[in-house]
Each structure stands twice: as structure tokens, then as C-alpha cells.
């Protein structure tokens, strides 16, 4: 059960510990929470309100947009543009940055978000989520530009996700551990139900889209084959596999019981000049912040994700994250392969 601490109370009490906190950050987080409540309601109603299916358009990634991709993006913009805490926003669903309109004051933060990650799952009623990341706006807030967003993940001041599953949950870090909140639909409040979430260092559960196996690089082939070899193989233990095709759901499982999630770069991606599937600024970085704050690790296989100097707003990166000892094993295999080369 729980002691009834709401997410608002939790955030305020957290901010009280920070000297000079003005309440801006608390208010920004609460606007994000409100947006996630609205999205939860929209996703939950689904076809009852006609929001499923394709919008008949493509996003900057060239991916077909679902109606919910566009609707949830609008929810995030409207909920966060007016209060004066942000100078600009960036979204998976928008080619360019969104500068706060002139009728509203501008503030000291930047917000990046994927309004509905895993949206291909909405039509088949599988869990989806929202991912967000908060950065400080450097220099002049009056006219933030794309460069203002080009900050490595270690510069994030907060990151979180909402998971629209059997329960709607929010998981949040402000750099002081990871805490999970469950939406009490009866009162419309997120309640602290998973304080101080931590990822076990070891796991026997891996998540990867195995349909790409023939394209994987050698270190990933080696790691997955060793897991599949089970007790007869070099690991000496059997492994379990999961793939939900919804990063938020995968990461939440890992936060709850451990595991390793991999979306590595592969030969098919290299052939088209892309460096991964998942986006750095609003998927990999916020999830890496959360995972590291929970005691896990997050790497491309070759470098710590949160240290990558971004080159582009919609840059894609390889992602290997979760239980620290397993991530470090995969990183070690990459290093061995590089040394052999």
C-alpha cells in the first residue's frame, strides 16, 4: 500500500531540499504531470473517442504518425507553453524546435519529449508511454535556438516517463534517485507507490528485437547466443527473453525486476547511414538518466550514452541499458572485438 504522498507533495518536498529553488521547477513538473493525466485518459478511451489508427502523415523520422501521436503532442505543447518555465520544447513529432509563443513569458528550462512512445502498440491495446527530459536553457532565453538543446545527457536536470498500462504510472528522477507513482483514477492524483526504485546488478532476462539477428554486430551476436545457450553454454544459466516494442514498458520492467534492453546499431542501419533506432534527446538520454539513477548502466556499447555530445535534435543512437553487470559484459565484448580488430 502507500502513505498517500501525492507526486505534487513529493516534488515540493524534494525541491525544498534545494537551496534557492524558486518553485519554477516544481510548477513545470506539475504541468508535465497534468499533460500525462490527459494523455492517460485519451489512451484509455481509445476507439471510444475515435483516436486510434493512422493520421495519414509521417513524422520527421519518416514514420507513419498515429492520430494519438499528433493529439498527445498537442496536449504536451498546450499544457507546457503558457506558464513561463520554458523557453522552448522539442518533440519526436516536430521537425523543428518549438519556441514558446510571444504571448507567453519564457523561462529557464527546455523540455524534450516523445509524447507517445511505442504508439504502434495503441491499435493492439499494448502498453505505451510518454518520455520527457528537462534541460536548463543556456544563454539568452529570449530566443533559444537549436544549439541550446545540444547538451549531453549529463546536463539533464530531470527525466521521467508515464506508462499507460494496466495502471498508469509516472517514474521520475531529479538526480536524487528514482521514484514511481501510480495514478489513483478515483481522485486523479499520482500517489507515491514505488519509492527509491533500484535495478538489480544481475539479471537473467534480456530484451531485443530478435528479427534483426542476422544484422547484429559480433559482440551482440555473442552476448545473445550465450544467453540462448543457457545452462549448456558459457553462462551456465538459462535466460528469459522479452520484447514489447515499447521502450517505456521495457524500461519499467527492468526498473522493477532487472534486465537488459538492447537496440544496438546493426548492418541494416549502417547501410542507410543511421547509427541506431532510438532517439538520443527524448528517448535514450532521459531513460539513461533514470536507469543510472536507479543503479543501472546505459551505453551504446562503445560509450556512455549520457556523455554523447549531440549533433542533431533527432539523432539516433544504439542503446544497451539495464542491470549494470550485464551492460558491462556487453560493453566488454565490444571492447574485445575492437581490440581484435
Site string for ligand P6P, 250-289 (x = CB under 6 A): ---------------------------xx-----------
Report the nearest approach of ligand P6P to the CB of residue 146 (Å).
22
Site string for ligand P6P, 22-61 (x = CB under 6 A): ----------------------------------------
Nearest CA to 243 among 136, 127, 129?
A: 127
Choose between 89 and 247: whose C-beta lies nearer to ligand P6P: 247
**Among 26-34, 38-46, 168-176, 244-252, the segment contacting ligand P6P (CB under 6 A):** 244-252
Contact call for residue 293 and ligand P6P (CB under 6 A): no
Per CB under 6 A, the list member of 154, 192, 228, 245 interacting with ligand P6P is: 245
Number of residues that bind ligand P6P (CB under 6 A): 9
Hey, which residues between 113 and 132 contact ligand P6P (CB under 6 A)? 117-118, 120
Task: Classify the phi-psi angles of 4: left when phi > 0, otherwise alpha if psi is within -120 to 50, otherwise beta.
Answer: left
Per CB under 6 A, the list member of 163, 191, 227, 247 interacting with ligand P6P is: 247
**Among 2-10, 20-28, 112-120, 193-201, the segment contacting ligand P6P (CB under 6 A):** 112-120
Cell numbers found for residue 257: 525486476
Per CB under 6 A, the list member of 176, 209, 225, 240 interacting with ligand P6P is: 209
Report the nearest approach of ligand P6P to the CB of residue 129 (Å).
8
Cell numbers found for residue 288: 539513461
All residues at 6 or more sequence positions from 55 whose CB lies less than 8 Å from its CB, including other chains: 64, 65, 66, 67, 69, 70
Cα–Cα distance, 289 to 281 (Å, whole number): 11
Contact call for residue 79 and ligand P6P (CB under 6 A): no
Cα–Cα distance, 290 to 169 (Å, whole number): 14
Report the nearest approach of ligand P6P to the CB of residue 281 (Å).
13
Cα–Cα distance, 30 to 152 (Å, whole number): 25
Cα–Cα distance, 332 to 265 (Å, whole number): 16
Looking from the CA of 252 toward its CB, the CA atoms found within 13 Å total 28
Choose between 246 and 300: whose C-beta lies nearer to ligand P6P: 246
Contact call for residue 246 and ligand P6P (CB under 6 A): yes
Nearest CA to 15 among 132, 134, 99?
A: 134
Cα–Cα distance, 73 to 94 (Å, whole number): 9
Nearest CA to 90 among 134, 129, 120?
A: 134
Report the nearest approach of ligand P6P to the CB of residue 277 (Å).
6
Report the nearest approach of ligand P6P to the CB of residue 250 (Å).
6
Cα–Cα distance, 7 to 160 (Å, whole number): 12
| Site of interaction with ligand P6P (CB under 6 A) | 117-118, 120, 209, 245-247, 277-278
Amino acid at each position: 500500500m502507500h502513505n498517500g504522498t501525492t507526486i505534487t507533495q513529493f516534488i515540493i518536498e524534494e525541491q525544498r531540499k534545494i537551496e534557492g529553488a524558486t518553485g519554477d521547477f516544481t510548477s513545470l513538473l506539475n504541468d508535465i504531470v497534468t499533460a500525462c493525466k490527459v494523455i492517460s485518459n485519451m489512451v484509455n478511451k481509445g476507439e471510444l473517442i475515435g483516436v486510434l489508427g493512422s493520421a495519414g502523415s509521417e513524422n520527421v523520422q519518416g514514420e507513419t504518425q498515429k492520430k494519438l501521436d499528433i493529439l498527445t503532442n498537442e496536449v504536451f505543447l498546450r499544457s507546457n507553453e503558457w506558464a513561463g518555465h520554458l523557453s522552448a520544447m522539442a518533440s519526436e513529432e516536430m521537425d523543428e524546435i518549438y519556441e514558446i509563443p510571444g504571448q507567453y513569458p519564457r523561462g529557464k528550462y527546455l523540455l524534450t519529449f516523445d509524447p507517445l512512445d511505442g504508439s504502434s502498440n495503441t491499435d493492439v491495446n499494448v502498453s505505451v508511454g510518454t518520455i520527457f527530459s528537462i534541460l536548463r536553457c543556456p544563454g539568452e532565453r529570449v530566443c533559444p535556438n537549436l544549439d541550446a538543446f545540444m547538451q549531453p545527457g549529463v546536463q539533464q536536470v530531470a527525466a521521467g516517463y508515464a506508462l499507460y498500462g494496466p495502471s498508469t504510472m509516472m517514474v521520475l528522477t531529479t538526480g536524487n534517485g528514482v521514484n514511481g507513482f501510480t495514478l489513483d483514477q478515483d481522485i486523479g492524483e499520482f500517489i507515491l507507490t514505488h519509492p527509491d526504485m533500484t535495478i538489480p546488478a544481475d539479471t537473467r532476462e534480456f530484451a531485443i528485437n530478435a528479427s534483426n539477428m542476422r544484422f547484429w554486430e559480433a559482440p551482440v551476436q555473442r552476448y545473445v547466443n550465450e544467453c540462448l545457450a543457457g545452462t549448456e553454454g558459457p553462462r551456465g544459466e538459462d535466460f528469459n527473453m522479452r520484447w514489447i516494442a515499447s521502450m517505456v514498458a521495457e524500461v519499467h520492467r527492468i526498473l522493477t525486476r532487472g534486465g537488459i534492453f538492447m537496440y544496438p546499431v546493426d548492418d541494416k542501419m549502417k547501410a542507410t547511414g543511421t547509427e541506431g533506432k532510438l532517439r538520443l534527446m527524448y528517448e535514450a538520454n532521459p531513460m539513461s538518466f533514470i536507469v543510472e539513477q536507479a543503479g543501472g548502466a546505459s551505453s551504446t556499447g562503445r560509450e556512455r550514452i549520457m556523455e554523447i555530445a549531440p549533433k542533431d535534435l533527432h539523432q539516433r543512437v544504439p542503446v544497451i541499458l539495464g542491470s549494470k553487470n550485464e551492460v558491462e559484459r556487453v560493453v566488454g565484448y565490444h571492447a574485445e572485438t575492437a581490440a581484435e580488430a
